[in-house]
Amino acid sequence: MSDSSQPGLDSRRRDFLVKLAQGAALAGTGGLLWDYILRNEARAAPYALRPPGALDEDDFNAACIKCGQCVVDCPPLILKLQPAGGSLPIGMPYFDPRTGPCIMCPDIPCMKACPTGALSPSLKKIEDARMGLAVIDIENCLSWKGLRCEICHRECPIKGKAITLETHPRQISKHAMFVPLVHSDACTGCGICEKACPTTIAAIRILPHKLVQGKIGEHYRLGWTFDTEVTQDFKSPEAVEPAGPGAAVPKTAPGVDYLNEGGL
């Protein structure tokens, strides 16, 4: 005795349930496919260099309305909106430092043009922008090969802070090497160094912090960087303040007293 053979309420209920299931299946499949396309599109986001003040990747992906007003208001017109089918997520602003670096306008017009806050107005000084981090390929850097290049150091707008020169003495008949070093506490990721680098493919490049920066971990104690004595006075882990940039590193650690007894 099947419901469908009987006209009346049961058959209608069955039809309704089947319709409901069909509708749900259609919505579910379509929804999953749509969600997959979105996630796939967002996958390349970690590789993009965003304008100054851009929120963290996930927040920026969510907040950017893809209007391009930052692009219009950028004085050197270096910002681009990614068209469909490109290598970065669709419609959002990015720049390529090798062809067009950020010139670090003091009034940050791109950030001011952003209507949604995806380029956060909490950025007050352009020197505090962290668009990316300059990374040197020391195998192909002219300075590291022993030539007197140092163009990146001279072009850097955060003079003497973001890129410093270190001298490496060599044997008697060669002059010392003057090698550039990048400091993440000052580098804004503007990319003027990458643009200026004279090698065929830039030996200094801007990459998003996430792709290049490591993290030392809180359990390492660099005892020699403090002039205070390392003692056994140990604070329980709960009492230790979370280490952030600028947070005080606990001065003491357990079981390292022997380091101070002249053994090393």
Partner 1 sequence: MSEATVRAPSTAAEHPVPTGLWVWRYIILRRISQVGILLLFFGTLHWGWEFSKDVGLLSGNLSASTFIGLIPLTDPFAALQIFLTGHVLAQESLIGVAVVLGFYLLVGGRVFCSWVCPVNLVTDAAGWLRNKLGILAIFHLPRGLRYFILAATLVITVISGLAAFEWVSPIGMMHREIIFGLGMGFTALLAIFLFDLLILKHGWCGHLCPLGAFYSLIGKTALIRVRFDKNTCTHCAECAKVCPEPQVLNLKKLEERGYVFSGECSNCGRCTPICPEGSLKFDFKPLIRGHNVQADAIAVQRRTK
Residues lying near partner 1 in the complex (CB under 8 A): 27, 30-31, 34-35, 37-39, 41-42, 58-59, 61-63, 65-69, 71-73, 80-86, 89-91, 113-118, 121
CB 93 within 8 A of CB 131: no
Q: How far is the CB of 86 from partner 1 (least distance, A)?
A: 6
Q: How far is the CB of 144 from partner 1 (least distance, A)?
A: 37
Helix (H) or strand (E) holding 81: strand 80-81
Q: How far is the CB of 188 from partner 1 (least distance, A)?
A: 23
Nearer to partner 1, 35 or 218 (CB): 35
Q: How far is the CB of 21 from partner 1 (least distance, A)?
A: 15
Burial of 213 (0-12, 13-18, 19+ CB in 10 A): exposed
Nearer to partner 1, 87 or 236 (CB): 87
CB 94 within 8 A of CB 48: yes
Q: How far is the CB of 215 from partner 1 (least distance, A)?
A: 25
Q: How far is CA 135 from CA 114, 128, 179, 229, 258, in A?
A: 29, 18, 13, 36, 37
Q: What is the chain's Cα-based Rg?
A: 28
CB 4 within 8 A of CB 11: yes
The count of C-alpha atoms lying within 13 angstroms of the C-alpha of 6, restricted to the half-sphere facing its C-beta, is 9
Nearer to partner 1, 85 or 244 (CB): 85
